[in-house]
Structure 1
Amino acid sequence: MALNALSHEEENYVRMSLLLTGISQRAVRVLFDKKIPPASLSLTVNDNIKKKKLNDLRGRRVINQAQWDLLFPTSGTVDLLIPTSGIKPMSLTRYSGISCFLTSGKSNVINQAVFRLGGNAMKQECDQLMTKPLDMSSQEILIEVQQANKDIESIKQSLDLIQSDHTDIKTDMKTFKSSHDSLKKSCDLLQVEQTESRKDIVVLKSDHQNLKKSHDLLQNEQTVSKMDGERVQKDVNTLKLNHTIIENSQGLLQNDQREVRIDVQNIKSDYEILKTSQDLLQSDQIKAKEDVKKLTSLSEDPVPWNRRGI
């Protein structure tokens, strides 16, 4: 497949991709195998103490789920092979800085790191990668670079549209700000009215409570008055009954009084009769006394009175 000539920046992008996805990862693998041999890797990660630490890292989200699945796969065999596909492309926002990074001598930092991890052979691969011409083996990366150029042009066009939209947004923001200020003033007025309404509600609640208390008092007084009325009615009924009894008693008393008057008259009549009898008895008593005196004198004088003159 024929490819167009690449710019210097595009070549640097390809070399950086090959360095990071190829040599660097193999160098890390060498160090990892030295620290933890592949034969004992499964036993190491399944050790209780180490697994507890790994669980702690997972709980603090230092280890994500994808990394956890690599350490503890469902097959039971740890799979930490270097990925050769599915690598996320480098962000286009970092693309323009790659050329400066590689040409400024800072690429030596990566070379030295690869040398410390993988030895002199891998460092030589790094040196060769920085100078060798790119061939068709880098076809996918080259195609990606060309696509990135197209994306950059598309982004530039989109940026122009965004700037235009940004100007419109500024205008809309001014309008929105004006509307916001008006709404804020209205909101402030509403808040003031709401505050006044709350105060009025508090006053109304207080008045309502007072009215309720007065109503309760009136109800209590009405209940008491009703009870008093019932008691008065009972008293009236009792008085009526007593009045009827008194009237009946008065009739009886009048009858008794008439009978008493008759009895008094009878007693007076009897008294007159008794008085007359007493007078007669007194008169008889006087006569009897005189007769007794005469009899006494006769008993003392031997000459009868009727013979004294002879």
Structure 2
Amino acid sequence: MATISVEEENYVRMSLLLTGISPRAVRIKFDLEFHPTGLDASLKKEYNKLSELKRKKIISESQWNVLFPRFPDVPDSRYFDVSLMLTLLRNLATLTPPRGGFDRLPPVIEISTEADLARIKYYRNYLAHLSDGKIDTTFFNTAWTDITEAIDRLGKMKQECDHLKTKPLDQTNREIMMDIKRSYDEIKELKKSFKSLKRSHELLQGKHENVEKSNELLQENYKKVKISNALLQEQNTEVRKAHELLQEDYMKAKKNVEEIMALPQITEFRNTKAREEEERRRTEEIITEIQNMRKRIRIEGCVIT
């Protein structure tokens, strides 16, 4: 079987320390804060706060199922991972955060229980984010001392930690931890793919929302156009009615004029006007005839006075 390098062996040992021993040390502190006999009642009492942590994705679905298993099962801290226990201690217990908070590595001089919990959390995150499955020996020795002292203060397990650091690793341990490392890498890739899919979904969701908004605007505009069309129809009806009334008034006025023009006085007046017009026309013709005769006589050399 293939051998592994010193750096890879450092990774295996630290993995065993953080996944095998540190959870038991954290659980000792956890059980002091949440006694196993009262754990179920304590969690139910804080149900609303825990629901909010789940909503914020601080507690995962699988962790939630461990906290609130199906009846008749009850929660048991032996099945809680380190991440879940640290989350519950931070949010439900009366702990005083380290000076730099729970998300930073505390200085070596800070040795409170809260600082030790922060140390274990920090190195677990560090290990989870390693990309090559190797740990430099200098860093390994410093980190090992920091972690084992924290474990010893929490659970008095220094002897077990020292034994793990020096005992020969059999091939099974190596293969298991390297398989775990490969699994971590696969999980990271899956998480990246999930994030990419999530972003794509969010973009599609945003586009869908924009389409819905556009559709709502179109619906509103359609309603406005429909209302405007109804108003125009009403106005058109009113204009048509007004036109009909004008037509009626015009016909009445025309009839009145025709009736007036048919009166005897109007007829006599029109006849008189016609005779006068006829006489005026005949007079003009006589004058025109006389003027023509004078022109002819002048042409022939005669002058009429």
TM value normalised by structure 2: 0.45
Work out which of the two has the higher radius of gyration on C-alpha atoms and give 1 or 2.
1
Q: Which has the higher helix share?
A: 1
Normalized against structure 1, the TM-score is what? Answer: 0.44
